[in-house]
Amino acid sequence: MGLRGRAVLRMDLLGVLLILFHTVAQIMAEQEVENLSGLSTNPEKDIFVVRENGTTCLMAEFAAKFSVPYDVWASNYVDLITERAEIALTRGAEVQGRCGHHESELQVFWVDRAYTLKMLFVKESYNTSQGPEAKWKLSLVQFVYDSSEKTHFKDAVRAGKHTATSHRLSALVTPAGKSYECQAQQTISLASSDPQKTVSMILSAVHIQPFDIISDFVFSEEHKCPVDEREQLEETLPLILGMILGLVIVITLAIYHVHHKMTANQVQIPRDRSEYKHMG
């Protein structure tokens, strides 16, 4: 083989190595995910982190459960009746994820992949009267469940894998650069491939940020959900009213005390003229 042939071969080998390196790097980036459930004091809550290039790009902390209707035979083995399986996202679940400038994704698997949760987040920019703004939101939820799994499903008819998907979802809307926080329960309805079945996804104790994380493993400033803000107002309003009432009472007592002292120091003019002779 001549020098030219060897040079071409070396370049081909170099190209193959570069492609392999790039592929491995992509795989490694996708696999940089962690389940940090052990850091949560809430036994029902999971903490998931997706990292790319050694930096946190998505953090999600929440408790989730799914209410899934399914059919079983009635006692006469002729009619069908509907039961409901209550499936919680268990701690220690397997995680996958990916990050992007405008789209990020979190996938969670548990019970030997009998259950899969996929959450897709998008960031959108638009113009307002105050100028350009950007917000992110949860745009898609997909839940795959296996009704042949015996722990939650008992004697299910048409047992097998089904997919429940959200429809035109726009949830957890948050200004760009902030994390979303909500302690209250939120329910998202999912249409199932199992005919005429609607799956309910119940989220609680949510803290999520899929974009623009500045510090590793640290959420940015929180954007609280309206329900939490209303509950916080309801909790603090009696305290505020009590403080205002107390202040009014203190001011009233102070005015009364000053007025009483001023009137006590004034010379008392007798109303009866006969008392004038005692003055002087």
Check which CATH number belongs to the domain holding 43 and give it: 2.40.160.110
Same domain, 109 and 215: yes
| Structural domain range at position 244 | 225-255
Cα dist from 128 to 132, 133, 154, whole Å: 6, 7, 53
Q: Which of 208, 224, 240 corresponds to the end of one domain?
A: 224
Same domain, 82 and 212: yes
Assigned domain for 238 exists: yes
Q: Tell me the percentage of the chain whose pLDDT exceeds 90.
A: 58
What is the domain count for the chain?
Answer: 3
Same domain, 113 and 88: yes
Same domain, 11 and 109: no
- Listed range (135-149, 154-168, 228-242, 244-258) with the worst mean pLDDT: 228-242
Assigned domain for 264 exists: no
Same domain, 173 and 215: yes
Looking at residue 233, its pLDDT comes to: 41
- What average pLDDT score do residues 81-98 get? 94
pLDDT at 259 over 90: no
Assigned domain for 272 exists: no
Same domain, 27 and 100: no
What are the residues whose beta carbons fall under 8 Å from the beta carbon of 231, sequence distance 6 or more? Answer: 184
Looking at residue 202, its pLDDT comes to: 98
Assigned domain for 273 exists: no
Q: What is the mean pLDDT of the chain?
A: 81
Per the model's pLDDT, the better-predicted residue between 236 and 213 turns out to be 213
Q: Which of 224, 240, 265 corresponds to the end of one domain?
A: 224
b/e burial code for range 171-187 (CB count within 10 A of at least 16 → b): bbebeebbbbbbeeeee
Q: What is the 3-state secondary structure (H, E, C) of 222-262?
A: EEECHHHHHHHHHHHHHHHHHHHHHHHHHHHHHHHHHHHHH
* Count of beta carbons in the 10 Å neighbourhood of residue 278: 7
Residue 107 and residue 100 in contact, taking contact as beta carbons nearer than 8 Å: no
**Tokens at 111, concatenated:** 């019970």
Q: Which of the 8 DSSP states describes residue 275?
A: G
What global pTM score does this model have? 0.70
Looking at residue 232, its pLDDT comes to: 44
**Tokens at 251, concatenated:** 């001011």
Assigned domain for 14 exists: yes
Same domain, 22 and 138: no
**Tokens at 61, concatenated:** 């902390």
Looking at residue 14, its pLDDT comes to: 47
Angstrom distance (rounded) from CA 217 to CA 19: 31
Q: Which of 177, 206, 224 corresponds to the end of one domain?
A: 224
Looking at residue 59, its pLDDT comes to: 96
Q: 108-159 pLDDT, tens per residue?
A: 999 999 999 999 999 999 888 888 899 999 999 999 999 999 999 999 998 9
Q: How many residues does the chain have?
A: 280
Same domain, 46 and 177: yes
Angstrom distance (rounded) from CA 149 to CA 111: 9
DSSP per-residue codes, 48-95: EEEEETTEEEEEEEEEEEEEEEEEEE-TTSSSEEEEEEEEE--TT-EE
Assigned domain for 84 exists: yes
Same domain, 229 and 218: no
What are the residues whose beta carbons fall under 8 Å from the beta carbon of 96, sequence distance 6 or more? Answer: 30, 31, 33, 106, 107, 109
Same domain, 71 and 175: yes
Assigned domain for 39 exists: yes
> Across-strand partners of 33?
50
217 — alpha (psi -120 to 50), left (phi > 0) or beta? Answer: left
Angstrom distance (rounded) from CA 103 to CA 139: 10
Assigned domain for 277 exists: no
Same domain, 19 and 8: yes
Same domain, 78 and 129: yes
Would you give the end-to-end CA distance of the chain in angstroms? Answer: 139
